[in-house]
Amino acid sequence: MWYVSTRGVAPRVNFEGALFSGYAPDGGLFMPEELPQLDRGTLCQWSTLSYPGLVKELCALFIGSELLPKDELNDLIDRAFSRFRHREVVHLSRLRNGLNVLELWHGVTYAFKDLSLSCTTQFLQYFLEKREKHVTVVVGTSGDTGSAAIESVQGAKNMDIIVLLPKGHCTKIQELQMTTVLKQNVHVFGVEGNSDELDEPIKTVFADVAFVKKHNLMSLNSINWSRVLVQMAHHFFAYFQCTPSLDTHPLPLVEVVVPTGAAGNLAAGYIAQKIGLPIRLVVAVNRNDIIHRTVQQGDFSLSEAVKSTLASAMDIQVPYNMERVFWLLSGSDSQVTRALMEQFERTQSVNLPKELHSKLSEAVTSVSVSDEAITQTMGRCWDENQYLLCPHSAVAVNYHYQQIDRQQPSTPRCCLAPASAAKFPEAVLAAGLTPETPAEIVALEHKETRCTLMRRGDNWMLMLRDTIEDLSRQWRSHALNTSQ
Ligand SMILES: *Cc1c(COP(=O)(O)O)cnc(C)c1O
């Protein structure tokens, strides 16, 4: 399987190449050169698989056994999910009024990023050990990415991770999830600034191409192909759990409601649809509504500023993965995609060409949900089911309630739940409900923490560079010792 850039200029790479890249060298995102088509027989076979079983099949399809033999791939995926709290890894809760909530948050940090990051890190380790190489992962985070990345990388051979968090701007639980991991390969910095300010030193370091190459730096954000790949399994699992039958011709439709910020889950769902899964996609966003405006009016333009909402992990201004969606909508036309994205980068505003917009609005429906509607939805779900939703899940569930209140004759529907309510007690309180805190989260408060401050007036960029250079030096002397 080969991967090409959505902008069509960078040379094609295999899965390993895509895995170790963030953006393609031409600024685009990697996508499979050709999409396989799943026939009915394959879908029926897959319908009885567990969630990890589906991840295995999808990864085998998109990685290729010449690069990663199937039995080794299966071991890596089993290892990735070994620390999950639920034996099914992902669990569907069937609630009143046709509400299906797919709980993607049974990983260590209580959010869905654990799923794709734990697999991605296993893949990285596999290739690093084989090539006897080392990488340093650098992540700037205002929330869930940092903790999930730390959890997946902690203790990994051949990898170090540096995380910059905005001191005082994450929730308390998020911060503790990052600062209480004391493994030797985890390096956490608390920056006295907001998330835009902490991006600056990271951007500057990554702009130095020679330095990045010399020290094998990489990021682990949601544009990484491997994360999108694993996320496809959410949609397959949702479909097989919610479809009423697999005996009809054509197969029944299931609607999947995807709460999103950077459109990673949306891109995954759209690829799943393209390769033959009969799903209808609904994209649900908070008041940061660029994706909603794009679907409704073809208006792909940046808003003035990020709005803070209760669904804070979706407070994202630029939905990077829409580039993958545009590329697919245009029939893999890299010229169209490049023109579109370059205009967006120049002017921060694009009106989608008519044809592209009508294809997009055929492929997905959208909603934008206010904080008030989020808390109402959390309250209603509690009243009807005694079930607590996190504010991000509530964004998706709000769409479901809108539909049943209009008494639309509906297809079965599955709402993706990206995080546990336990992680967002502030939002639960805002909804007038009582937070439930699992023992693991309570225990965080009493654990030892480690975090180096980056104070105002310090040279953050230099501190970051020094740390990276130190880690490279340590790796080189370690590699030397083990080879002697
Ligand atoms: C990261 C995150 C999201 C947004 O994910 P995208 O990849 O931007 O769609 C939504 N909810 C939670 C809880 C998250 O951690």
**Would you say 77 and 49 are in contact if contact means Cβ atoms under 8 Å apart?**
no
* 135-140 vs 159-166, strand pairing mode: parallel
374-389 pLDDT per residue, tens: 999 999 999 999 999 9
In the prediction, which pLDDT does 59 show? 98
Q: Compute the distance between CA of residue 405 and CA of residue 398 in angstroms, rounded to an integer.
A: 11
- In sequence order, what are the residues at sequence separation of 6 or more whose Cβ sits closer than 8 angstroms to the Cβ of residue 374? 286, 309, 310, 311, 391, 394, 395, 398, 427, 431
| Beta-ladder partners of 392 | none
Is the predicted pLDDT of residue 280 greater than 90, yes or no? yes
Architecture of domain 228-435: 3-Layer(aba) Sandwich (3.40)
Is residue 261 lining ligand 1, measured as CB closer than 6 Å? yes
**How far does Cα 175 stand from its chain's mean position?**
19
- In sequence order, what are the residues at sequence separation of 6 or more whose Cβ sits closer than 8 angstroms to the Cβ of residue 199? 140
In the prediction, which pLDDT does 224 show? 94
Write phi, then psi, for 53 (nearest 5 degrees).
-60, -40
Q: Whose CA is nearest to atom 15 of ligand 1?
A: 144
Is residue 227 lining ligand 1, measured as CB closer than 6 Å? no
Domain segments of the chain as ranges = 228-435
Rg (Cα) of the chain, in Å, rounded?
Answer: 22
Report the SS3 class of residue 248: coil
* Cα 394 to ligand 1 centre (Å): 13
395-404 pLDDT per residue, tens: 999 999 999 9
Tell which atom from ligand 1 comes closest to the C-alpha of 148: 15
Tokens of 120: 């991605």
Q: Which residues are catalytic?
A: 113
62-77 pLDDT per residue, tens: 999 999 999 999 999 9
Is residue 144 lining ligand 1, measured as CB closer than 6 Å? yes
88-111 pLDDT per residue, tens: 999 999 999 999 999 999 999 999
Best residue among 260, 285, 415 to mutate for probing ligand 1, ranked by most atoms within 8 Å of CB: 260
* Cα 262 to ligand 1 centre (Å): 7
Per-residue burial over 143-155, b if 16 or more Cβ lie within 10 Å, else e, is bbbbbbbbbbbbe
Is residue 238 lining ligand 1, measured as CB closer than 6 Å? no
Least confident of 108-112, 113-117, 170-174, 386-390: 170-174
Per-residue burial over 283-307, b if 16 or more Cβ lie within 10 Å, else e, is bbbbbbbbbbbbbbebbbeeeeebe
Task: Name the nearest CA neighbour of 188 among 425, 463, 479.
Answer: 463
| Beta-ladder partners of 284 | 259, 367
Reported as half-sphere exposure (CB side, CA atoms, 13 A), residue 182 has a value of: 6
DSSP 11: P
Q: For CA atoms 193, 197, 199, 203, give the dihedral sign.
A: negative
Conformation bin of residue 438: beta by default, left when phi > 0, alpha when psi is -120 to 50? beta
**Would you say 151 and 108 are in contact if contact means Cβ atoms under 8 Å apart?**
yes
* Cα 44 to ligand 1 centre (Å): 30
The mean per-residue pLDDT over the stretch 341-360 comes to: 96
Q: What is the DSSP string of 108-153?
A: TTSBTHHHHHHHHHHHHHHHHHHHT--EEEEEE-SSHHHHHHHHHH
Q: Whose CA is nearest to atom 9 of ligand 1?
A: 260
Torsion of CA 368, 370, 371, 374, to 10 degrees: -60
DSSP 422: G
Q: Compute the distance between CA of residue 180 and CA of residue 116 in angstroms, rounded to an integer.
A: 22
204-259 pLDDT per residue, tens: 999 898 999 999 999 998 899 999 999 999 999 999 999 999 999 999 999 999 99
Tell which atom from ligand 1 comes closest to the C-alpha of 392: 11
Q: Compute the distance between CA of residue 19 and CA of residue 13 in angstroms, rounded to an integer.
A: 10
* Cα 320 to ligand 1 centre (Å): 13
Question: Interior CA angle at 389 toward 269 and 222, to 5°?
Answer: 35
Q: Compute the distance between CA of residue 362 and CA of residue 367 in angstroms, rounded to an integer.
A: 15
Tell which atom from ligand 1 comes closest to the C-alpha of 227: 7
Tokens of 465: 């560079």
Q: What is the DSSP string of 301-354?
A: E--SSPPP-SSGGG--S--TTHHHHHHHHTTS-HHHHHHHHHHHHHHSEEEPPH
174-190 pLDDT per residue, tens: 999 999 999 999 999 99
The mean per-residue pLDDT over the stretch 162-168 comes to: 93
Q: What is the DSSP string of 28-54?
A: --EEESS-----HHHHHHHTT--HHHH
Tokens of 276: 């033959």
In the prediction, which pLDDT does 376 show? 98
Is residue 28 lining ligand 1, measured as CB closer than 6 Å? no
DSSP 219: -
Work out the mean pLDDT of the chain and round it to a whole number: 95
Is residue 99 lining ligand 1, measured as CB closer than 6 Å? no
In the prediction, which pLDDT does 156 show? 93
* Cα 220 to ligand 1 centre (Å): 14
In the prediction, which pLDDT does 169 show? 83
**pTM tops 0.85:** yes
Q: How confident is the model at residue 484 (pLDDT cuts 50, 70, 90)?
A: low
Q: Compute the distance between CA of residue 313 and CA of residue 310 in angstroms, rounded to an integer.
A: 9
The mean per-residue pLDDT over the stretch 338-351 comes to: 96
32-47 pLDDT per residue, tens: 999 999 999 999 999 9
Best residue among 29, 101, 112, 173 to mutate for probing ligand 1, ranked by most atoms within 8 Å of CB: 112
Write phi, then psi, for 459 (nearest 5 degrees).
-90, 95
